[in-house]
Structure 1
Amino acid sequence: MRAPERGALPLQLAATLGRTYGRVTETVQGLSDADFDRPTRCEGMPVGPLLVHLLYDAERALMAFASPATAVPDRDFVTYWLDSPPGTEGDDQFVRTVASAYRKPAALVQHWRELSEAAVRAATAGLVDKGRRVETQGHVLRATDFVATLVLEATVHHLDLIVELPNALEPDPEGLQVAARTLDGLFGPEAWDVIGWDTTTYVLKATGRLPLDEDDRDMLGPHADRLPLLG
């Protein structure tokens, strides 16, 4: 069995980002204070610190759209992640410290809501110009490619957030497709064409959130050792 067909990136990527961020907001806004200390799939990073990590990603989006670039893009939505190999995020202690500085988790949620909604508005305006380029983390990307990286980050971390949150919302389906399309690009057709996982399982296993079992390794053959593709 082969993985489901995945086409090009969505035409309305800003709307995809809005739904992706919106589902994170819906997930965290009803949590109890104790829930923010629940573990996630990111080792050493409970729900609260992981939301801070996402908050800084939304802030980075605002900075990028305020920093238009004229240089030729040197990364796209796939190759952007080549600079982020598994296990290199390295900001666990920082985000834990920031999360603890919020007087109440509700204040963190409000800050996340305001920043994420502003980032979506910036993306909506920024994508009007089809040729727009932005600079972020030392690279230049087309605005569409940049927004796709934001969608992947939020989608994967949404899956991280909800592992110990019963009845939580699943990520936006189109956001999952963007994440899978990105992983396809990193993995290459020779590898992903043999995958029989559903899309969510693909994202979780290709990013190391779920371990590979014996059947997975039989399915992937020599490609199994290339996982995880992202941390």
Structure 2
Amino acid sequence: MDLFSRSWSALRAAVADTPDEDFARPSGCAGRLVRDLVCHLVIDAQDVLITLVTPATTAPTADAVTSWEPVEPPTGDDPLDALIPRLAAAYGDPGLLRFHLDDVGSAAGRAAELADPAALVGTRGQVLTAGDYLSAYVLEWTVHHLDLIAHLPAAARPPAETPAAARGALERIAVAPFPASFTDEAALLVGTGRRAPTSEETAALGPLAARLPFVLG
């Protein structure tokens, strides 16, 4: 729960500090501009709010690791993927998009702080504890923070403890560790297909290299 708050607060602060002109730059998420990524974060924040007020009465069917499912790389055919760039562009003024994320994102952050970690919630056909649901987002927020700053070298990086936690989550999803020679950020970027491994990294990865990237949804 604490890592959720830290990673989410850091990501929102990084967006708040992003100059207007940088919203039209590419992000680290293939095919998405920074403004598209921020629009995606608004939708994610809405999902957090909806899920935390959607109680479930059955036993958990997933946890912070098993709630992630491997998916095919996006092709642009998914209606939501196609909608996000158009919706982001419709904001026009980056300040409006920044304000919307701050407004909805702050509410999502407060809802997470107030949530009972043991409460059962339903989302995407799954039942999880609120604690597991929010813990899963540490991976999401951290990777998207790296996406945000991919081409913004002066931007603030994620707090050190969140890439470490996100790496641990990715390794549990992969059921395999990344080599110790990989930094936490390198493991996340290579592991999720944000960049290709170098020849040295490929050699260090061994059999795991053939299983990359892990595209999760």
Q: Deviations over 1:154-212 (max 9, x none)?
A: 11011011111121011122221221121111122xx3164421111111111111211
Instruction: Give distance in 1, aligned partners of 2:3 and 2:105.
Output: 13
> Deviation at 1:62?
0.3
Query: Which residue of structure 2 aligns with residue 117 of structure 1?
Result: 106
**Residue 206, structure 1, aligned to residue 195, structure 2:** no
Q: How does 1:1-231 map to 2 (within 5 A)?
A: 13=1, 15-82=2-69, 84-88=70-74, 90=78, 91-127=80-116, 130-188=117-175, 191-192=176-177, 194-230=179-215
Query: Which residue of structure 2 aligns with residue 9 of structure 1?
Result: none
Change (3 A) 1:194 1:33: closer
Instruction: Give distance in 2, aligned partners of 1:126 and 1:221.
Output: 41
Q: Which runs of 5+ in 1 are unaligned?
A: 1-12
Count, aligned residues: 213
Instruction: Give distance in 2, aligned partners of 1:163 and 1:21.
Output: 17
Instruction: Give distance in 2, aligned partners of 1:202 and 1:103.
Output: 35
Instruction: Give distance in 1, aligned partners of 2:191 and 2:18.
Output: 29
Change (3 A) 1:103 1:224: closer
The question of whether the paired residues in 2 share the 8 Å contact of 1:77 and 1:148 is answered with: yes
> Deviation at 1:61?
0.4
> Deviation at 1:142?
1.3
The question of whether the paired residues in 2 share the 8 Å contact of 1:36 and 1:48 is answered with: yes
Q: Deviations over 1:69-93 (max 9, x none)?
A: 11111111111112x4241484332
Identity across the alignment (%): 34
Query: Which residue of structure 2 aligns with residue 4 of structure 1?
Result: none
Q: Which runs of 5+ in 2 are unaligned?
A: none
SS of the equivalent of 1:40 reads coil
Instruction: Give distance in 2, aligned partners of 1:208 and 1:24.
Output: 20
TM-score (norm. length: structure 2): 0.90
> Deviation at 1:229?
1.5
TM-score (norm. length: structure 1): 0.85
